[in-house]
Amino acid sequence: ENLEGPELLVYIRNQDETEFRNFIVWLEDQKIRHYKIEDRGNLRNIPSSGWPKSFEQYLQDVNCPFTVEERQESVDWLLGLAVRLEYGDNVEKYKNCPPATATEAAKPSDPLIHLDSSNPDFKAGVLGLASLLKIQRHDDYLVMLKAIRILIQERLTPEAIAKASQSKEGLPVALDKHILGFDTGDATLNEAAQILRLLHIEELRDLQTRINEAIVAVQAVIADPKTDHRLGKVGR
C-alpha cells in the first residue's frame, strides 16, 4: 500500500501479468486440455521467470499462428480454440440453444458508468479531447467526458452542423415604427443607426440563448449523481 509514481505502475503491471498467466493456465486446465495433467507443471508455475518461455512453447504446441509478443492476438486465438473444443465436446447441449436476444424491457445503461476513470490512457485521451474542444478541465474525468459528449451531440453531429449551416431568412421590419431615441440631423444616418440598433438587439438575444444552453448543459453534468461518484444522493 501507499505506493506512488513508478512503484505504483510497476505494481499494476505485475498484477496484470499475474492475472494474464492465471487466465492462460485456466484455459488450458478447464477448456483446451492440450497437455496431460502431469505436463502442465511449467505452465502452472506462475511466479517463474521462465514462464514466458513455457508460454511460447505452449503456443507452438497448440499450433497458434501468433507469437508471445502478439499477446492480444494469441489470446483471441486461444479463446477461439477453447470455444471450438467446448462446443465439440457438448454438441448436443449447445446445438439446441436458442439465440440470445435482447428483451424489450432491457434499458441501455450509460456507457460512461463502466469506464475506468483511473486508467492513465483514459485520462490522457479525455484531456486531449477537452483541450481540442476548448472545454474547461475538471478534477473528475467522467464529468469532463460527459461535457465532451454533450458538446459533440449538440454542436458536432451531422444534424447539428446541417442546422447551423442553414441560412436564416429575416422578416421585413418597418423602421418608422421603431424610435431611435436621438437625432443625428441626417435622415440617412438616422435610418442606419436604427438598423444597427436592431442588429445589436438580435445579437443580444442570440447571446442570451447561448447562455441559457450553456447553463442547461452544465446543470446536466453537475446534477447527475451517476457521473460524479462522490455525490451521496440526489439533491440536498
The three-class DSSP label of residue 184 is coil
Q: How confident is the model at residue 187 (pLDDT cuts 50, 70, 90)?
A: confident
Quick check: pTM over 0.95?
no
Say if residues 59 and 66 touch (Cβ distance below 8 Å): yes
The residue with cell 449551416 is 165
Task: Check pLDDT > 50 for residue 163.
Answer: yes
pLDDT tops 80 at residue 2: no
C-alpha cell read off for 71: 499477446
58 contacts 42 by C-beta, under 8 angstroms: no
SS3 call for 99: coil
Average per-residue pLDDT in the chain? 76
Q: What is the pLDDT of residues 10-69, one digit of tens each?
A: 444 556 788 888 989 999 999 899 999 999 999 999 999 999 999 999 999 999 998 988
Over range 164-182, report the average pLDDT. Answer: 66
What local confidence, expressed as pLDDT, does residue 8 receive?
Answer: 43
Q: How confident is the model at residue 3 (pLDDT cuts 50, 70, 90)?
A: very low
CA distance linking residue 236 with residue 232, whole number of Å: 9
Cα separation, 203 vs 197, whole angstroms: 10
pLDDT in the model for residue 204: 85
Q: What is the pLDDT of residue 222?
A: 64
SS3 102: coil
Residue 231 predicted with pLDDT over 60: no
| Residue 157 CA: distances (Å) to CA of 32, 146, 152, 219 | 46, 15, 6, 21
